[in-house]
Each structure stands twice: as C-alpha cells, then as structure tokens.
Chain A
Amino acid sequence: DAGVIQSPRHEVTEMGQEVTLRCKPISGHNSLFWYRQTMMRGLELLIYFNNNVPIDDSGMPEDRFSAKMPNASFSTLKIQPSEPRDSAVYFCASSLLDTQYFGPGTRLTVL
C-alpha cells in the first residue's frame, strides 16, 4: 500500500491567494483527519470525517478554512484567502479503527 498521499508537498503562495491541499487516504479506511502543525501550537486537529461526513470541525480556525470529502478516496482542505499566519505543515491522516496513519505533510508558506 502506498500509504496516505498528500499533494503538493510544498506550497509557497502570496497573501490573499487561494490554497488547496489534497489528500488520498489509504484504501479501505473510513476516517480521515486534517491536522496543522506549527512551532507555537504543535499538532492541532482541524477536522475529522467519518464515512465522508464531517463529524467534528471545531478545530477549523475560521471561515477562511473549508474541507471536503467528496468520496472515500479524496479530500481537500482549502484556505481562501490565505494569510501569513496560515504558514504551517498540514497533515492528513486516515484510519480504519483506532490507529491513524499520517501522510508526509504539505509545508505551506504564505508570504
């Protein structure tokens, strides 16, 4: 299995631009998680899907962030408009039972 796939691996954009991060979970997994990691705040859960349905989005920082899971094999996290404080590493993880498997992350830099 290829594991959780995230794209792009690195993204550099300017303030105000729209950013879309993509995630392909492990086949057969029914839960998907988006996390954000910064030096100041560590790893934070942003949103969690189960069977493609958002279950808990209380970690989404504000309305500029949105996440979708149109099918079991694809999810996106969108930031519009982006701001410099959104600079972070964004991880996607998937699970079938308790164990979560993380992707390599997308390093986002907003100038």
Chain B
Amino acid sequence: DAKTTQPNSMESNEEEPVHLPCNHSTISGTDYIHWYRQLPSQGPEYVIHGLTSNVNNRMASLAIAEDRKSSTLILHRATLRDAAVYYCIRLRDTGNQFYFGTGTSLTVIP
C-alpha cells in the first residue's frame, strides 16, 4: 500500500511558518518520503525528500518522525507564492513510480 494521508486543506498567514503533516503509517524501512507541490496551472515540482533524518534545503525543511510513520513539511515563512497543493509521496526503493494522493491545498492569507 503506497498511500499517504494528508489534510485536504490548510491556511496560513503570510510570513508565518507552516507545518504540513503527512501520515504514512504502513511505510517500510527503505521507502523514501518525497514532497512535491503544484502551483496553479503548472506541473508538480520537487520540494524535498528524506529517509530517516530531518532534511533542509532552500525551499523547506522535512521533519521525519522517529518511527517514520509520519512526517511534516515546514515552510519557514509562507509567501503568497507558496499557495499550492502539496503532495506527500512514498517512494519504494524497488522502483520510482509515484502515487499522488489528493494532497493538501495551502492557502496563504496576506
């Protein structure tokens, strides 16, 4: 089962941090967690990925629970350009087929 569970929608005020949760309770020990986002009228774009340790890049941080059953994407200061649908994806080490769920639609309020 490659499914993940995310809230359908979230809101954030501009310039405040945003924590986007994802549940992947059936994850195996070698599945990576990937996050992508889709801006309006665009294709999905890569945000960040990780396996066990917390990860940081210029776009966001990824906090992975110690038991790996959940993770949180952190946008440190939301901007209006961050309004998008955010997808949390499990990627099996046996292949690179992505299964996109419904994602979380993030609204940023000015």
Contact = CB atoms under 8 A, between A and B. Distances in A.
Interface of A: 4, 31, 33, 35, 42-45, 48, 55-56, 91, 93, 95, 98-105
B17 interface: no
A43 B44 contact: yes
Secondary structure type dominating chain B contacts: loop
Contacts of A55: 95
Given A98-B32, A98-B34, A98-B49, A103 B43 contact: yes
A56 B49 contact: no
Contacts of A95: 96
A33 B97 CA distance: 9
Interface bin, chain B? 20 to 34
Interface of B: 32, 34, 36, 42-46, 49, 87, 91, 95-103
Q: Which 5 A-B pairs give the minimum distances between C-beta atoms?
A: A102-B43, A43-B100, A99-B46, A91-B43, A102-B44
Given A45-B99, A56-B97, A99-B49, A104 B43 contact: yes
A45 B34 contact: no
Nearest to B45: A102
Given A42-B102, A95-B96, A98-B96, A104 B42 contact: yes
A48 B94 CA distance: 14
